[in-house]
Amino acid sequence: MSLNRGVAALGAVAVVGVATLGWSIPLAHHFGQPKPMVAATSGSTWKQFAPVCWNNGDVLTQKQITSCLKDLAKAQAGGKDTPTLEVAQNGTFMINTNEDIAAKGWYAQVPGQQQPVGLFSRTTNQQVGNIPLAAALQASQTGSAPVTVVESDDSGKQIYGVWTFVVKQQGS
């Protein structure tokens, strides 16, 4: 008699597990892919940030890019929600991406710099490091500058995502 109860209990657990899996897969699909995060580090300081613009890994449309530029300008205007990475006066910083961003390619730039060079040439590496703070602050008079990370194709014409953060000289 107790063997039948054990089998029945196991069967009930299996049914509940299948039912849970059955509704959670469509629910997860409904929410789309998780947004890829980009991180910046300097010394022992680490900041992670979400994209300002992202289209579930697909190319951004012209309408999305136009909207993105507006959102990017707001974020870079020094809003309190914009992640800020403080870097020592003569220090360096690194930018880290996930595998998906690196696979498509990406670059980073600050105002006044244009692709293909920016802070560094377009790369398919997940990490670019030892970027001098001075390179990011070239056009800045305030001791801080917004950095824009762009995921794009080889030509730079198809954009998949845009992230931004501010680098700031410690003590300024």
> 45 with 106, same domain?
yes
Mean pLDDT estimate for the chain: 82
Going by C-alpha positions, the residue among 127, 144, 30 that lies closest to residue 86 is 144
Between 51-60, 64-73, 109-118, 159-168, the lowest mean confidence (pLDDT) is in: 109-118
Per-residue pLDDT at 31: 60
> 154 with 84, same domain?
yes
Per-residue pLDDT at 43: 92
Contacts of residue 120, defined as CB under 8 A and 6 or more positions apart, other chains included, come to 107, 108, 128, 131
Domain at 86, CATH number: 2.60.40
> 161 with 77, same domain?
yes
Q: What number of other Cβ atoms are within 10 A of residue 17's Cβ?
A: 10
> 60 with 120, same domain?
yes
> 69 with 142, same domain?
yes
Say yes or no to pLDDT of 7 above 80.
no
> 107 with 123, same domain?
yes
> 15 with 99, same domain?
no
Q: Can you give the residue range of the structural domain that contains 81? A: 38-169
> 16 with 83, same domain?
no
Amino acid letter for position 169:
Q
> 9 with 75, same domain?
no
Q: In the chain, how many domains are there? A: 2
Instruction: Give the pLDDT confidence of 145-161 residue by residue, as tens digits.
Output: 899 999 998 887 899 99
Q: What is the mean pLDDT of residues 74-101?
A: 87
> 63 with 8, same domain?
no
Q: What is the pTM of this model?
A: 0.78
pLDDT band at 74 (very low <50, low <70, confident <90, very high): confident
> 5 with 43, same domain?
no
